[in-house]
Amino acid sequence: MDNNIVWHCATVTRERREKLNQHKSVVLWFTGLSGSGKSTLAHALEEQLHQRGGRTYVFDGDNVRHGLCGDLGFSAEDRKENIRRIGEMAKLFVEAGVIALTAFISPFTDDRKNVRKLFADDDFIEVYCHCSIEECERRDVKGLYKRARAGEISDFTGISSPYEVPENPEISIDTENSTLEVCVEQLLEILVERGILLQLTRKSEESLSVAH
């Protein structure tokens, strides 16, 4: 790094932003095979958090590749860089007091570990969306698995490129056999347990009591 580049310390701190938002910031890192429900679950959780007054943002794998990572392909090296960039971006959002949700296959253990190292232990929640490849292929709304098996897509996770299952995720969600509502509730519970949503929960309860 250039010695002329110095980190500027702002007067508006993460703690002040969290106090304004009435919740703590954190990153929920959704990982799993294509079709395992990462994006669906991340957006459904964001909707519930938004309704509670939460400050949130979902980094969706496809959306990010339209801009920030539009110059990257799907080789192992490009995937590594893709995850590195998202990790650094998510870190900035956590500093901004936002609940960041990232929905990426992120198939390699080392890449996910490198992202985890960017955060304090309490700031990173790895969410493994557990779903069999058979079910993912059955869903296959984009037709990607079919094209991958036909040899039209190279380096496709689960077919021609490996997916390394997380060893110790903070939470494993059975997106194959559980309803979306149940999955979202499990995530809300872990956020409450960790004290991320304590104030939001109280605010929501107060609003309900006033309404009644």
Tokens of 23: 């919740």
pLDDT at 128 over 90: yes
Tokens of 60: 């969706």
* Whole-number Å distance between alpha carbons of 162 and 33: 10
Please give the model's pTM, rounded to 2 decimal places: 0.87
Q: Which CATH architecture has domain 25-134+164-211?
A: 3-Layer(aba) Sandwich (3.40)
Round the average pLDDT of the chain to a whole number and report it: 88
Measured at the CA of 46, the angle between CA 188 and CA 118, to 5 degrees, comes to 80
What single DSSP character describes residue 122? G
Q: Is 29 exposed, middle or buried (0-12, 13-18, 19+ CB in 10 A)?
A: buried
- pLDDT tens for 60-117 read 866 766 666 776 777 888 888 888 999 999 999 999 999 999 999 999 999 999 999 9
Q: Centre a 10 Å sphere on the Cβ of residue 153 and count the other Cβ atoms it contains.
A: 17
Give me the active site residues, please. 106
* Whole-number Å distance between alpha carbons of 19 and 17: 5
Site of tokens 């995850």: 83
Return the higher-pLDDT residue of 121 and 202.
Answer: 121
pLDDT at 206 over 60: no
> E strands of 38-196, at which residues?
56-60, 99-103, 124-130, 171-174
Give the start-to-end residue ranges of the domains of the chain: 25-134+164-211
| Per-residue pLDDT, 141 | 80
